[in-house]
Amino acid sequence: MKTIIRKRVLKAGIAVVGLSSLAVAVSAHAQQTLNIVSWGGAYSMSQHEAYDKPWMEKTGDEIVNIDRSGNALAGLRAQSQAGNVTWDLVDMLPADAMIACAEGLIEPLDHDELLADAPDGTPPSEDFVDGALGDCFVASIVYSNIVAFNSDMFPEDDQPSTIEDVFDLENYPGKRALLRKPINNMEWALIADGVDREEVYAMLETEEGVQRAFDKLDTIKDEVIWWEEGAQPPQLLADQEVAFASAYNGRIFNAMVTEDQPFEIIWDAQVFELDGWVVPTGKLDKVKDYLHFATDTQRLADQAQYISYGPARLSSSELVSTHAETGMEMTPHMPTHEPNFATALQKDDLFWADYNDELTQRFNAWLSR
């Protein structure tokens, strides 16, 4: 802290006026360093621009970004077992948050007390979308798992448009890149096989349903390249290593607008879910001001200038404007935009909390055959 103050002093020069005003600012808010864990890449960048920069400017806090959300649950457990929790705020998926909450690794949150009201006074519990506020969790975005394709690899008059096309090797040949996990793939396999999307999860609880999903995946297995990091699908598509790739919609959007890639998103059967903040046990006092700030209506709307993830607050949706770099209208690229949302499926966290272990083992066994 000392060095920060000293730097400030230097910047302010020797003017006494500058010094005294600085002293006031410092005493109002003790400057601190916040270790914030997130997903890295374009997503962390959007958080940095929308939340961190204004926050640092306002308070003088330092924010250290750690790209560990992919293994956040393991990290929290390890830190808690070692008795030395260094993370102050963690961005994670609601399914992981449920587990962490049950293990007492993260703080229960009283949303209406901790979070900001909407500009019109609506309390947070009514302003956030369904499922956004968990016992220990507050969502910031709605994102979506979609399949995208490289439009250069198909004739202009016959571009794929539905999830069935992804499983149709005859009419749409080429490699597919899919996430190396059962999540999303099982759902898409069943939907492509003609199962109604309302019945997908009920079906996956039965042996026949799981077998049916694997049978469907078998039809494309030889043409699949499995990815594990969110940055891989846009890269594979850009290199034309694959024709289709499942991906997080924001990454594809980012490649489309900032790198001018000829990608198209198949919104059909998008599997959307939420993503947001949890507070490691014992850190609530330290981060509650930041959390209050970073989840308010304006901040969530601002984030949408940088990445095409929908804000988790209803009051933010109206404020979503244009892309910060290109000035492109953001609304049509949002997962929650009406035409995109027509056949969307919400990921069932409870189902995956129960069956992820078993299905992942089965999935891995299936892969290695």
DSSP 108: -
CB of 161 to another protein, least distance (A): 26
Examine residue 364 and tell whether it contacts another protein (CB under 8 A): yes
> What gap in Å lies between CA 18 and CA 315, rounded to an integer?
39
**Could you give the angle at the alpha carbon of 183 between the alpha carbons of 192 and 279, nearest 5°?**
145
Please return the burial class of 95, using the count of CB atoms within 10 Å of its CB with bins 0-12, 13-18 and 19+: buried
Nearer to another protein (CB atom), residue 144 or residue 232: 232
Report phi then psi at 50, rounded to 5: -85, -35
Nearer to another protein (CB atom), residue 73 or residue 287: 73
Examine residue 357 and tell whether it contacts another protein (CB under 8 A): yes
Examine residue 71 and tell whether it contacts another protein (CB under 8 A): yes
Nearer to another protein (CB atom), residue 111 or residue 313: 111
CB of 108 to another protein, least distance (A): 8
Going residue by residue from 201 to 240, which x/- string records binding to another protein, judged by CB under 8 A?
-------------x----------xx------------xx
Helix (H) or strand (E) holding 177: strand 176-179
Examine residue 1 and tell whether it contacts another protein (CB under 8 A): no
Choose, by CB under 8 A, the member of 50, 66, 73, 279 that binds another protein. Answer: 73
Site for another protein in 258-317 (CB under 8 A): none
Nearer to another protein (CB atom), residue 127 or residue 349: 349
Examine residue 362 and tell whether it contacts another protein (CB under 8 A): yes
Residue 350: strand, helix, or coil:
helix
Site for another protein in 236-255 (CB under 8 A): 239-241
Asked if residues 11 and 41 have their Cβ atoms less than 8 Å apart, the reply is no
Find tokens 């030889």 and name the residue: 222
* Tokens representing residue 38 in the block: 């997130």
Report phi then psi at 280, rounded to 5: -55, 145
Report phi then psi at 182, rounded to 5: -70, -30
Residues forming the site for another protein (CB under 8 A): 71, 73-74, 77, 98-105, 108, 214, 225-226, 239-241, 350, 353-358, 360-362, 364-368
